Amino acid sequence: MKRRTFLQQIGSILAVLGVTEAELLTLSDRYSQALAQPTPRKLALLIGINQYRKSPSLSGCLTDVELQKELLIHRFGFLPANILTLTDEQASREFIEAAFLDHLGKQVKSDDVVVFHFSGYGTRIKSNESEETLQNALVPTNENLEIQDEKIATYLLEETLLLLLRSLPTERVTAVLDTSYDAPSTIQPTGLRIRARQELAAKLATAELEFLQQLKTKASLSTAVILSATSDPKQVAKEGLFSGFSAGLFTYALTQYLWETTPATTLQFSLSHVDSAMYKWGSKQQPNLVNDKKLLTSENLLLDQNMGAEGAITATEEDTKTVQLWLGGLPPQVLENYGVNSRFTSVNGEQLILRSRTGLTAKAQISGVELATPLQVGQLVQEAVRVLPRNISLNVALDSGLERIERVDATSAFAAMAPMVSVVTGEQPPDYVFGKLAQTPSRYALFAAGGQLIANSAGEVGEAVKVAVTRLAAKLPHLLAAKLWRLTENEGSCRLPIKVSLEIVNNISPKVILQRETLRTIDTKTLNKKSLSTQVIPIGSRIQYRIQNKGDRSVYLILLGLKNYRTATTFYPWQTSEEPNTSETKPLLQEVVIPAGETITLPQHAATSGWTISGPAYECEHQLILSIAPFSTTLKALETAKYPTGDQQPIGALVNPWEIAQAVLQDLHNASITTVQMNGVANDFYVLSVNHWASFNFSFQVN
């Protein structure tokens, strides 16, 4: 079909999409009314494709669309009628381009806000047979055709999309591309799907090339901010299984953080948190701000409500005491283990008690007397009390490449480690995957959910399955401990005003490389807008943490860590005391206390200027947890650890990591004792009040 003929039939296409002429007139009326208001219009086109005609199905692309839609409506004030979604069979190349031209091209005016999103496969293809250079392309649902024995690729070129975005007459254009283009030839065992398809030996559709040439003739082009799921052509965008749903790692991490963030936050600052979140999911995928010379602040998206939140009310039931919630703002690892009786607070101060949850949606009951003013759909809710089960285990999946007898033996061996380990099926989100090395199939190893080989987990050639699982037993308590303390992360919902910086110490002044601050207490006027991301710390560097307590009460601190996915560590300051009438000495552990309004550095000794980072290269994460109450249970559990005789402020290995992690949760539970009594929760849960603790995750590489 000729492009001109196709555009003449755009009305028919929009009818197929379910957008009637009457609805278009209604939209136009709303747009006209919005022009008279001080706030510009906000329009979005969201595309997600799970089902392809010839390629294997994806699972999380429709969830991505839902994640973006709920975020745009509840946090950025988009009207539902101004958000057009194309999913699965609707998302052909022709429909995508037609929807763009009509929904955005014909409607957008100067200063309007525009968001475009794509989740699905990407690939690479030659634009024509005479060229050797491959071009990036988005794969629509009708990916290719066969005409007279010739394969025709009906792709949407990335170049076409970028020109479409830049053709809009506004500077406030943001595109999120949760896809990648270069599929790997070999894939390690993984719990994640890859959004990249092998390039197809096919000819690009003539209509696409003609349309591209038309766009290139446009004289006036504005700028657009493009967010890519990967920063390197060889990286792949991935989607994972979470608590009852699948989603793109990039989309989920980005939308989750934007739920909780504040208006002054720049996008580059946000990407550091997104990067860190995907790292904790076992993926080295790093997002990218394509045109980094133009920072995207919340002014580009015009944040509608000047407060962070963990979710919003999406429906109310007839009894007026029950509401439905969307919980897109909870950290994913927390959501998976979020217990019944957790509490939220509405913008009006009402307490909502969680009664049930399915995926990202939940039902909650209003606590107390009937409200004079009923809760309204669209009101934001903030986390108040976090309830976590005590019987959390490490979820290990068995790679589908294992033979039946191998799976039986592995299941039996892991079952002997209960309750520390649970073998999960493809319907449950795994923490790790047990499988074989792609290069040496006769060697068993443990992999992160993202496919990353866990250091020193591969066995010898010809090793029996049960021997391999038994060999890994010593590593698993360290991994489970890290899972437990990650559940304390609450940078978004915490009410304690705390700011933490990771610094490299030098002879001039410390250099800040990573920074975290509680978002509910952040001062938007003084927010550091410096671009921060997962950092590489050179071997031989000296590092320190600077912790600022901006509150009016003292707080206590514990630092826990995981080195190279295999060794749990902690910071334990101690002093040597001499027993009366003896020459023997023994170490006494000390609480790290930060008085109200004061700042300390770790290590604290003036003579010790930072911790020296030694080689060889490794990956590391630290969890800094602060509480209004002492970590008494944790220090008692640490008494069984082995102490060095030299440095009195070390970060050292834990000999009982699982017990230490449980002790930390118990101390936070004890700090929230009044909340525990109020909730009336059974003893097999931890109950934590966001008023009483703060927890930050720092991930970095040593190289």
With a cut of 60, say whether residue 348 has pLDDT above it.
Answer: yes
- Please report, as a single letter, which amino acid is at residue 136: N
Whether the predicted pLDDT of 221 surpasses 50: yes
Q: CA geometry: angle at 381 spanning 375 and 385, to 5°? A: 120
Residue type, 236: V
- Residue in the structure block whose two tokens are 């039902």: 363
Per-residue pLDDT at 371: 63
pLDDT band at 525 (very low <50, low <70, confident <90, very high): very low
The answer to whether the CB of 609 falls within 8 A of the CB of 505 is: yes
- Helix or strand (DSSP H, E) at 116: strand 113-119
13-17, 411-415, 606-610: the lowest-pLDDT one: 13-17
Give DSSP secondary structure letters for 311-375: EEEEEE-TTSSEEEEE-TTS-HHHHTTPPTT-EEEETTS-EEEEEEEETTEEEEEE-SSPPSS--
Q: How far is C-alpha 184 from the chain's CA centre?
A: 23
Q: What is the pLDDT of residue 65?
A: 98
**Arithmetic mean of pLDDT, 259-282:** 69
Task: Say if residues 205 and 154 touch (Cβ distance below 8 Å).
Answer: yes
Provide the pLDDT for residue 101. Answer: 92
* Cα angle for residues 480, 243, 226 (degrees, 5° grid): 100
Q: What is the pLDDT of residue 278?
A: 80
d(CA 129, CA 203): 7
Cβ 450 vs Cβ 238: under 8 Å: yes
User: Which is more confident, 570 or 45?
Assistant: 45
pLDDT of residue 575: 62
Indicate the DSSP class of residue 520: G
Mean pLDDT over 438-442 rounds to 80
Q: Picking from 223-227, 259-263, 457-461, 696-700, which range would have the lowest pLDDT averaged per residue?
A: 259-263
Greater model confidence, 456 or 130: 456
pLDDT at site 35: 29
Look at residue 99 in the predicted model and tell me its pLDDT.
Answer: 94
Place of tokens 């946090």: 75
Average pLDDT for 367-386: 84
CA–CA distance, 556 with 626 (Å, rounded to integer):
5
pLDDT band at 317 (very low <50, low <70, confident <90, very high): confident
Q: In what order do the strands lie in the sheet with 238-241?
A: 192-194, 238-241, 246-248
Angle between helices 465-472 and 404-415 (to 10 degrees): 40
Q: At what angle do helices 657-671 and 476-486 cross, to 10 degrees?
A: 20
In angstroms, the CA 276 to CA 317 distance is: 38
The percentage of residues in the chain with a pLDDT greater than 70, rounded to a whole number, is: 82
Rounded distance between C-alpha atoms, residue 241 and residue 193, angstroms: 9
How confident is the model at residue 369, as a pLDDT?
64
Q: Give the pairing type, strands 113-119 and 172-178.
A: parallel
- Residue-level pLDDT at 679: 61
CB 88 within 8 A of CB 50: yes
Mean pLDDT, the chain, rounded, equals 83
Provide the pLDDT for residue 22: 40
Length of the chain equals 703
The count of other CB atoms within 10 Å of the CB of residue 602 is 23
The secondary structure element, H or E, covering residue 248 is strand 246-248
* Residue 354 binned pLDDT confidence (cut-offs 50, 70, 90): very high
Range 534-543 average pLDDT? 85
Say if residue 529's pLDDT is above 60.
Answer: no
Task: Kindly report which listed range (52-66, 567-581, 649-663) carries the lowest average pLDDT score.
Answer: 567-581
Phi, psi of 365 (to 5 degrees): -115, 140
Quick check: 522 pLDDT over 80? no
* pLDDT at 607 (0 to 100): 56
Domains defined along the chain, listed by start:
42-301 (3.40.50.1460), 311-389 (2.40.30), 394-473 (3.40.50), 490-523+532-702 (no CATH)
Residue 306 pLDDT: 62
**In the predicted structure, residue 23 carries a pLDDT above the cut 50:** no
> Looking at residue 697, what is its pLDDT?
92
Q: Is the pLDDT of residue 291 over 70?
A: no
Average pLDDT over every residue of 102-111 = 91
Amino acid at 566: R
| pLDDT (average), residues 265-282 | 69
| pLDDT for the residue 580 | 55
The answer to whether the peptide bond before residue 419 is cis (omega within 30 degrees of 0) is yes
Statement: residue 408 has pLDDT above 90: yes
Closest to 660 in 3D by CA, of 645, 639, 674, 679: 639
**Listed range (206-210, 214-218, 628-632, 656-660) with the worst mean pLDDT:** 214-218
Give the full edge-to-edge strand order of the sheet including 172-178. 83-87, 42-48, 113-119, 172-178, 225-228, 288-289
Tell me if 527 sits within 8 A of 264, measured CB to CB: yes
Task: Identify whether the C-beta of residue 44 lies closer than 8 Å to the C-beta of residue 30.
Answer: no
- Quick one: CA dihedral 276, 281, 286, 289, positive or negative? negative
For the cut 70, the answer to whether the pLDDT of residue 530 exceeds it is no
For residue 673, what pLDDT band results from cuts at 50, 70 and 90?
A: confident
pLDDT, residue 528, reads 46
CA distances from 194 to 243, 382, 526, 546 (A): 19, 33, 40, 38
Is the model's pLDDT at 21 over the cut of 50?
no
Read off the pTM.
Answer: 0.87
- What whole-number distance in Å separates Cα of residue 473 and Cα of residue 447? 14
**85-99, 130-144, 530-544: range with highest mean pLDDT:** 85-99
Strand boundaries in 564-692, DSSP class E: 567-571, 574-578, 585-589, 592-594, 599-602, 611-612, 618-627, 651-653, 685-689
**What is the three-state SS of 48-112?**
ECCCCCCCCCCCCHHHHHHHHHHHHHHHHCCCHHHEEEEEHHHCCHHHHHHHHHHHHHCCCCCCC
For the chain, percent of residues with pLDDT exceeding 90:
50
Q: At residue 100, does pLDDT exceed 70?
A: yes
The owner of tokens 């209604």 is 26
SS3 119: strand
43 within 8 A of 108, measured Cβ to Cβ: yes
Calculate the CA 408 to chain-centre distance. 33
| Residue of 102, 91, 93 lying closest to 21 (CA atoms) | 102
Give the C-alpha separation, 492 to 384, whole Å.
12
HEC profile for 369-433? CCCCCCCCCCCEEEEEEEEEECCCCEEEEECCCCCHHHHHHHHHHHHCCCCCEEEECCCCCCCEE
Residue 550: how many other CB atoms lie within 10 Å = 17
